[in-house]
Amino acid sequence: MMADPVRAQSVVLASGNAGKLRELGEVLAPLGVTLIPQSEFNVPEVEENGLSFVENAIIKARAAAEHSGLPAIADDSGLEVDFLNGAPGIYSARYSGAGDEANNTLLLKTLGDTPEAQRSARFQCVLVYMRHATDPTPLVCQASWEGFILFEARGTHGFGYDPLFYVPEHQCSSAELPRELKNRISHRAKASALLYEALRQR
Ligand code: ITT
């Protein structure tokens, strides 16, 4: 029997975000690839100076591929709040300049008592797969997850903005969802399913 080309390879995961690393490890496991975190290589911190999720994902994947010599997968993601014209968007990680908890505090403060109907938001996730650092045809898979911003934090699972993100179909925050459920319905889960299909077809 021929070896499955998708299963036969090691891939470096171009992320230093522990929450993402855990979720990507879980949702990409069905690919059968061996995922190696970039912390196992000397991948320097790169400046995410793109103006879109896809540009920043390519910047990260390219650096990881270059410094590991392996194919790389990067995730660039963020939260778009309609009332804030899509902010914090690509700047989600840097929103407050002081980490996840401060980001959530700032978001709650900025929205103040804006009514529920105007608190619509979505998570975006772009996953990029590059065969090597100069791959001219990276695979790009993008998905989103619709919800609303709560008035206070709820739940302890997940990471980042999860405690503030209300998931209408389950009537709870994404930090209250069991891990396996978030990994089936999130922006990252949907982008991973697309990436799996794209890798299989290639
Ligand atoms: P890497 O670049 O090393 O992967 P990062 O945290 O800097 O890590 P991003 O630039 O892509 O990653 O920023 C993503 C931001 O969006 C960050 O603030 C996350 O907390 C938030 N985010 C993304 N996916 C999320 C999710 O599933 N749940 C909660 N917050 C999420």
Residue nearest to atom 16 of ligand 1 (CA): 78
pTM of the model: 0.95
Give the pLDDT score at 8.
Answer: 54
Residue nearest to atom 18 of ligand 1 (CA): 93
Q: Which atom of ligand 1 lies nearest, measured to the CA of 74?
A: 4
Residues 6+ positions from 56 with CB-CB distance below 8 Å: 48, 49, 50, 76, 90
Residue nearest to atom 7 of ligand 1 (CA): 93
Task: Supply the residues annotated as catalytic.
Answer: 76
Give the pLDDT score at 6.
Answer: 45
CA–centroid distance for 33 within its chain: 18
DSSP calls for 84-102: GTT-BGGGGGGSSSS-HHH
Give the pLDDT score at 151.
Answer: 98
Task: Give yes or no for a contact between 103 and 88, defined as CB atoms under 8 angstroms apart.
Answer: yes
Residues β-bridged to residue 145: 123
Give the pLDDT score at 185.
Answer: 98
Task: Give yes or no for a contact between 62 and 39, defined as CB atoms under 8 angstroms apart.
Answer: no
Give the pLDDT score at 135.
Answer: 98
Q: Cβ atoms within 10 A of the Cβ of 137, count? A: 8
Give the pLDDT score at 112.
Answer: 98
Q: Mean pLDDT for each consecutive 10-residue tract of the chain (202 residues)?
A: 52 95 87 89 95 98 98 98 98 98 98 98 98 98 98 98 98 97 97 92 86
Question: Residues enclosing ligand 1, CB less than 6 A?
Answer: 15-17, 20, 48, 60, 75-79, 92-93, 100, 103, 123, 158-162, 186, 188
